[in-house]
Amino acid sequence: MEIEKTVKYISGLAKQLKNEDSFKATVISKLKNDLEGSRNFRLDQITNEQNAQATYADLLRVHDAAEALLNNSVFSTDGSTLEADRDLPIEFAAINVGYVNINYGDDSGAEFDSALSFYPDPKIQEIDSRVLSDVNSMSALRHVMEMEYLADKMEAFKTDSIKLGFIDGNFYPNFALSHINNNSLKQLLITRLKAVAERVVSLAKDNTYIISYNSSPKSVHITSKMDTKISSDFRDSEIFTELLEDNQRSAVFNEISKDTDEKSLTPVSFIYLNNSYEIAKIEYIKDTIDKDAMDKIHSLVLSQVKKGNGYPKILIESHEQAVISQSDRKSISILTERELNANKLKYTTTQKYQSKQSRNI
Amino acid sequence: MEDNKIIGEIIEVSSRSAIAQSYELYDCPPIGSVVKCGDDKEDIYGVITNIETRSIDPGRRPNPKGPGFSEVNELYKSNPEITHLMKTEFNIVFLGYKNNENTTEISIPPTPPRIFSFVSTLPEDEMINIFSDEGLVKFIVNSNMELKDDVIIMIISKYLNSKITKTEEIGSFTSQLVGALPDQITRITNIIQNLNLQEK
């Protein structure tokens, strides 16, 4: 590879970014004044905590963290996918969902677990061989399984303390869902998401909450609705970096859904949080968390972020539980080859694969 | 630690030594302790020569959790996942085994214990039996274990402190050391002086 050519190209991109940053810095420096000057400017398709039309005034509203809770239980699931190998005569995929629960305070302790599922599964007809190699289908399925597993575990766990479950990324897998071509699978996943959402609503009545946590999100829910003179291609996280002091959170916002399949899901609300390392977006099912509960959740999230040196500890550990490592993948490949040969199904990897492994001159 | 308690399993083994992992974090007898390895069919004895606690995942190094804690216990309580993410391993150097006649021989075992063999603490009678063999000290001295003199000091101290010790027993160990380490008076003196004998 021509390194010099690559360096020149990257250097050009960096200079372009510097110019953009300098322009953004000028706009951002005036942001608070601009918002104050147009407090009643409407953020189209966005409502506030009172379900009223959101305006710039809502962007200027901030909340500080409550005092940290001594006794609390946090939960998280995360998933990892083993994609189907098209070179194999048997095609299968696997999803591993990792789970972690950590209890702080008087009954401190932790539980680690994981659940492995293989596809195709005769019980789920919608997942056929075409689905197995479709990244979006598998990603959405994995997200649904993470949510279901988290709800199962949190429902079963008994404690008098507050229980907070973390989902990695967005609350719903909207992007993946919107890119699924297989309509029967899409409908199945939406049905399962609606069912798990009902369980989340029910859990919230018992001091048990599930949120999603998105680190430095690229979302533009707010900025895409702002006056272009002010927002000028900002991400929401960029404006909230300016509006929120360390450890503060924004007001609650809701985005009014467009009429698409995935938007028929139980609506979610979101807030932004400056966790003193970065801006994070927290989503939850609308009306499941009131201000008092959010004050507690706010302090729990900050405590998790501190324990994880910038990212919630519980999400770090559930990710580690979920990962299907390279050595796991290699073992699965060897086992598959062995089983095929044991059944007198002569099989070796393709010559292309073998040539890439040996790399002879 | 109670006698005959299964504390872990062997995870790596060769003719002279093994590495075991304890079931619970830190739940391992101190260096110099004699343990039993094997199963129903075999009894192999070894001494713990090294204890190591580290991450279960070699790719994840622990980071400090503080500052902000005044006690280590407080730090552990605030981070209860630690005990799931760390492991304690210990090295065992084989000292002897029970032969077909059910007598103890001080030697490496003819075949090492199997992987995943249990490691258990030793009942007092079996410990006395091993230590009554005059070849024990010489075997340890001639082995290639790590921290040899420290282990000799700890193993003899531990044995002598486990019961009411007669003066002649200390003399017996001194004689065994003189026999095993001829012309090494300074080293023997150092070992004897460092025996940490507690009054009963």
Chain A residues in contact with B85 (beta carbon < 8 A): 317
B68 contacts in A (CB within 8 Å)? none
Q: How many CB atoms lie within 10 A of CB A300?
A: 25
Q: Which residue has the tokens 């789920």?
A: A124
Stronger pLDDT, A346 or A150, i.e. the higher one: A150
Cα angle A294, A299, A305 (rounded to 5 degrees) comes to 120
More confident residue, B186 or A103: A103
Is the per-residue pLDDT at A145 higher than 90? yes
Nearest residue to A320 via CA among B65, B60, B77: B60
Q: Check B81 against A104: CB less than 8 A apart.
A: no
Select from B57, B60, B81 the Cβ nearest to the Cβ of A110.
Answer: B81
Interatomic CA distance for residues A258 and A256, integer angstroms? 7
Contact between A47 and A71 under an 8 Å Cβ cutoff? The reply is no
**What does the pLDDT read at residue A354?**
72
- CB–CB of B84 and A309 under 8 A? no
Per-residue pLDDT, B199: 59
Identify the CA nearest to A131 among candidates A96, A167, A98, A95. A95
Q: What is the pLDDT of residues A192-204, one digit of tens each?
A: 999 999 999 999 9
Q: What is the pLDDT of residue A348?
A: 67
* Range with the poorest average pLDDT among A39-43, A264-268, B17-21, B148-152: B148-152
Q: Which of residues 137-176 of B touch A (CB under 8 A)?
A: none
Of A22, A140, A122, which is closest to residue A81 (Cα–Cα)? A140
For residues A88-105, average pLDDT: 92
**Nearest CA-CA partner of B2 in B29, B23, B41:** B29
Under 8 Å between Cβ of A270 and A221 = yes
pLDDT score for A176: 93
Taking only the tens of pLDDT, chain B with its 200 residues reads: 777 889 999 999 999 999 999 999 999 999 888 999 987 778 999 999 999 999 999 989 999 998 899 999 999 999 999 999 999 999 999 999 988 888 888 999 999 999 999 999 988 888 888 888 888 888 888 887 777 788 888 888 877 777 666 677 778 888 888 888 888 888 888 888 888 776 55
Using a CB-CB cut-off of 8 Å, the residues of chain A touching B81 are 100, 102, 110, 112, 313, 317
For residue B165, the model assigns a pLDDT of 66
* pTM check: above 0.90: no
Which chain B residues have a beta carbon less than 8 Å from that of A313?
A: 81
Q: How far apart are CA A341 and CA A319, in angstroms?
A: 34
| Chain B residues near residue A103 by CB distance under 8 angstroms | 80
A108, A309, A320 member nearest B80 (Cβ): A108
Report how far apart, in Å, the C-alpha atoms of A307 and of each of A64, A104, A161, A310 are. Answer: 19, 12, 19, 8
Q: Dig out the tokens for A50 from the structure.
A: 């009172």
- Give pLDDT, residue A355: 77
What is the distance between the alpha carbons of residues B69 and A340, in angstroms, rounded to a whole number? 56
Pick the residue of A71, A303, A307, A321 with the most B CBs within 10 A to test the interface with B by mutation: A307
Average pLDDT value over all residues in chain A: 91
| C-beta atoms of B57 and A320 within 8 A | yes
CB contacts of B63 in chain A (<8 Å) are 309
Which residues make beta-bridge pairs with A98?
A: A78, A114
Taking the C-alpha atoms of residue B27 and residue B7, their distance in angstroms, rounded to an integer, is: 7
How far apart are alpha carbons B99 and B76 in whole angstroms? Answer: 45
Side-chain-facing half-sphere of B10: CA atoms under 13 Å: 27
Rounded to a whole number of angstroms, the distance from the CA of B75 to the nearest CA of chain A is 11
> Which has the higher per-residue pLDDT, B161 or A217?
A217
Q: Chain A residue closest to B79 (CA)?
A: A104
Q: Cα Rg for chain A, rounded, in angstroms?
A: 23
CB-side neighbour CA atoms (13 Å) of B165? 22
CA distances from A182 to A126, A174, B168 (A): 8, 15, 86
User: Measured between alpha carbons, how far is A141 from A133 in angstroms, rounded to an integer?
Assistant: 12
Q: What is the pLDDT of residue A216?
A: 94
Q: Give the Cα separation of A321 and A78 in Å (integer).
A: 8
| Gap from B85 CA to chain A (nearest CA, Å) | 9
The verdict on a CB contact (< 8 Å) between A100 and B79 is: no
Least confident of A95-99, A144-148, A299-303, B99-103: B99-103
Strand A208-215 versus strand A162-168 pairing type: parallel
- Asked if B79 is an interface residue toward chain A (Cβ–Cβ < 8 A), one would say yes
Distance CA B190, CA B174 (A): 11
Interface contact A204, partner B, CB < 8 A: no
* CA atoms of B143 and B61, how far apart (whole Å): 33
pLDDT of A260 > 70? The answer is no
Long-range residue pairs from A27-35, CB within 8 A, at least 24 positions apart, any chain: A27/A230, A27/A232, A27/A234, A28/A234, A28/A238, A28/A239, A28/A241, A28/A242, A31/A230, A31/A239, A31/A242, A31/A243, A32/A60, A32/A242, A32/A243, A34/A230, A35/A59, A35/A60, A35/A230, A35/A243
Q: Which residue of A has its CA nearest to B59?
A: A320
Distance CA A257, CA A260 (A): 8
CB B149 within 8 A of CB B49: no
Q: Who has greater pLDDT, A333 or A167?
A: A167
Q: How far apart are the first and last CA of chain A?
A: 18
Asked if A108's CB is within 8 angstroms of B77's CB, the reply is yes
Q: How far apart are CA A117 and CA B58, in angstroms?
A: 27
Per-residue model confidence (pLDDT) at position B176: 85
Q: Which of A102, A106, A304 to mutate to test the interface with B (most CBs of B within 10 A)?
A: A102
Query: Least CB-CB distance to B80: which of A109, A309, A320?
Result: A109
- Measured between beta carbons, the chain A residues lying within 8 angstroms of B75 are none
Alpha helices by DSSP H, listed for A157-290, are: 174-178, 183-204, 228-231, 236-243
Q: Cβ distance A115 to A149 under 8 Å?
A: yes
Q: Is the pLDDT of residue A317 over 60?
A: yes
Check if A315 contacts B (Cβ < 8 Å). no
pLDDT digits (tens, 9 = 90+) for A114-144: 999 999 888 888 888 778 888 999 999 999 9
CB contact under 8 Å between B80 and A110, yes or no, is yes
How far is the alpha carbon of A165 from chain B, nearest alpha carbon, in Å?
16
What is the per-residue pLDDT for A232? 66
| A110 near B CB under 8 A | yes
In chain B, residues with a C-beta closer than 8 Å to the C-beta of A107 are: none
B137: amino acid identity, one letter:
V
Mean per-residue pLDDT, A96-103: 97
- Which has the higher per-residue pLDDT, A358 or A323? A323
Token pair, residue A210, equals 């599930």
CB contact under 8 Å between A109 and B63, yes or no, is no
Section A327-335 average pLDDT: 85
CA distance A66 to B39: 56
Q: Per-residue DSSP letters for B70-125?
A: SSHHHHHHH-TTHHHHEEEEEEEEEEEEE-TTS-EEES--SSPPPTT-EEEEPPHH
Distance from CA of A74 to the nearest CA of B (A): 12
Q: Which amino acid is at A114?
A: S
Q: Which of A108, A110, A309 sits opposite B84 (nearest CB)?
A: A110
The confidence score (pLDDT) of residue A83 equals 84
> What share of chain A in percent tops pLDDT 90?
68
Q: Write B161-169 long-range contacts (CB < 8 A, 24+).
A: B161/B196, B161/B197, B161/B198, B162/B124, B162/B127, B163/B124, B163/B128, B164/B200, B165/B197, B165/B200
Question: Alpha-carbon distance A326 to A329, whole Å?
Answer: 5
Phi then psi dihedrals of residue A40, to 5 deg: -90, 5
- Give the Å distances, CA to CA, from B114 to A46, A67, A128, B130, B144: 66, 54, 45, 22, 22
Chain B residues within 8 A of A112 when measuring between CB atoms: 81, 84
B77/A112 Cβ within 8 A = no
Beta-bridged to residue A214, according to DSSP, are A281
Residue contact A100–B78, C-beta within 8 A = no
When computed from its CA atoms, the radius of gyration of chain B, rounded to whole angstroms, is 19
Q: Helical H runs in A133-226? A: 135-156, 174-178, 183-204
